[in-house]
Amino acid sequence: MPSDPRIALVDDDAAIRDALKWLFASRGHQLASFESAAALLADRDPSRFACLVLDLRMPGMGGMELFQTLIGKGYTPPTVFLTGHGDVPQAVAALKQGAVDFLEKPFDDNALVSLVENCLQLDTERRAAWDSRRQIERRLAELTPREKEVMALFLDGKLNKQIADELDISMKTVEVHRARVLEKMGVKSAVELANLLKELG
């Protein structure tokens, strides 16, 4: 069993927190429980979890507001909402913003465990894609303004001579900038670079 819980539950109901902690332990999963959104946000890094289970309606910051706050901070683990019957429209709105699913209380234990286990698998895929995007963004940030200008022009299909004329620099300088762009971005050609940048949309 991992030493660090991969699942986080945020619910102001102590009975639900205790019940779900026992439920997931019985299925071989560790669960970290928090009594409020503020308690989760005070955690050393909420994004370290592989799945979040959030109660939609809580005193203070509710689950939806917490979810939106986490989205604004960066990587958001796959999220499941627990809702009361009257909160279904809000839960549907959460799905449109990227939540994985929601369950109405009282919920079926097996359904919740199955949903969370799917989230754990989904997290592996999402986190890899997120890390890849961050790496590309870091590489782009290392480019100088001139290198970015040259990159934009050669990605637009312009030849070195055309780039040199447009930027009023020598062809040799264009070649140097072009080589540095490819080196910094970790690719060997403009085609590879274009494909890499597609990951950023």
42-93 pLDDT, tens digit each? 988 889 999 999 999 899 999 999 999 999 888 999 999 998 877 778 888 8
Asked whether residue 2 carries a pLDDT value surpassing 50, the answer given is: no
Cα–Cα distance measured from residue 154 to residue 26, given in angstroms and rounded to the nearest whole number:
58
The answer, yes or no, to whether the previous bond of 106 is cis (omega within 30 of 0) is yes
Asked whether residue 24 carries a pLDDT value surpassing 90, the answer given is: yes
First to last CA, the chain: 38
How many residues can be counted in the chain?
201
Name the one residue in this structure whose structure tokens are 């997290």. Answer: 123
Band of residue 3 on the pLDDT scale cut at 50, 70, 90: low
Cβ atoms within 10 Å of 46's Cβ, excluding its own: 23
How many CA atoms are closer than 13 Å to the CA of 34, on its beta-carbon side?
A: 26
Band of residue 1 on the pLDDT scale cut at 50, 70, 90: very low
Structural domains in the chain plus CATH codes: 7-132 (3.40.50.2300), 142-198 (1.10.10.10)
- Percentage of the chain beyond pLDDT 90 is 73
